[in-house]
Amino acid sequence: MRGRLVTGNWKMHGNRSANASLLDGVLAGMTDLAGIECAVCVPFPYLAETAARVASSKLGLGAQTLSEHESGAYTGEVSAGMLADMGCRYVLVGHSERRALFGETDGQVAAKFAAAQRSGITPILCVGETLAEREASRTRDVVFRQVDAVLEACGAASFAKAVLAYEPVWAIGTGRTASSEQAQEVHAFLRSRIADRDSGTAANLRILYGGSVKPGNAAEIFAMEDVDGGLIGGASLVAGDFLAICRAGASPR
């Protein structure tokens, strides 16, 4: 059975002292957490400090994006090798904010996915539709297009060392969550898309749900057959809320 993963996405929040308190709270509550993998994706400047704090814990470390290039004259960019050097286990790839605000294309997202894997980092590939796309009944087309770009560039077997995250854009940071049935429906579509090419990889692929997951709705969403945990934005900034969501993921299916 696929083990669940819950990862926080701190986005561009926090500072050294706030992060220290947040990590104190999360790490203190992690000691009695079993049966779930938890991680935090932190802003680049805080990777080193967070890596040192989580080194002796079960909390995994991730980054929020990376460059598709290995090295060179790319001022301001951060490579997969650098993230590996800092102890990152995960990196978010193709978060909707990167796609919408920074113009990341499907092709670029696929290149970033490949770059992460070349450095031994597990990419968490984020896909999801906007509200207009959902209302036009285009959800499946959109998430398939986003996943297909990676399938074509990297092959289905590459998903054996990756995580997929379904994040409906209309649910991110809005307080509006997909119903557990809506999440399950899209997760099942996504798994079937990978299964069409490689059924073994699809069966073992962890597909996270992200979009206004809170302590009050996590258990219901995580109970769905094809939901293997969560990508948590706002609620990951409050230690007690993040831990409550991790605990919801730790309960048996």
Q: What does the per-residue mask of binding to ligand PEP show for 120-159, with x meaning CB under 6 A?
A: ----------------------------------------
Q: Is 7 in the site for ligand PEP (CB under 6 A)?
A: no
Which tokens go with 83?
Answer: 């993230």
Instruction: Give buried/exposed letters for 102-117 (b at 16+ CB in 10 A, else e).
Output: eebebebbbbbbbbbb
Write out the binding residues for ligand PEP, residues 83-122 only, by CB under 6 A: none
Task: Clarify whether 69 is annotated catalytic.
Answer: no
Member of 123, 229, 234, 249 binding ligand PEP (CB under 6 A): 234
Q: Which stretch binds ligand PEP (CB under 6 A): 98-106, 156-164, 191-199, 226-234?
A: 226-234
The angle that helices 139-154 and 106-118 make with each other, rounded to 10 degrees, is 40
For the chain, report the end-to-end CA distance as a whole number of angstroms: 10
Report the residue closest to ligand PEP, judged by CB: 233
CB of 235 to ligand PEP, least distance (A): 6
Q: Which stretch binds ligand PEP (CB under 6 A): 26-34, 81-89, 167-175, 198-206?
A: 167-175
> What is the number of residues in the chain?
253
Residue (91 or 156) nearer to ligand PEP, CB: 91
Which tokens go with 78?
Answer: 């951060």
Place of tokens 């991110």: 172
> What three-state secondary structure class fits 249?
helix
Residue (126 or 156) nearer to ligand PEP, CB: 126
Q: Is 221 in the site for ligand PEP (CB under 6 A)?
A: no
Q: Is 9 in the site for ligand PEP (CB under 6 A)?
A: yes
Which tokens go with 46?
Answer: 């805080």
- Catalytic residue of the set 95, 104, 129, 187: 95
Distance CA 161, CA 89 (A): 11
CA–CA distance from 204 to each of 3, 128, 245 (Å)? 9, 21, 22
Judged by the rule CB under 6 A, the positions of this chain that interact with ligand PEP are: 9, 11, 167, 172-173, 210-213, 231-235
Catalytic site positions: 95, 167
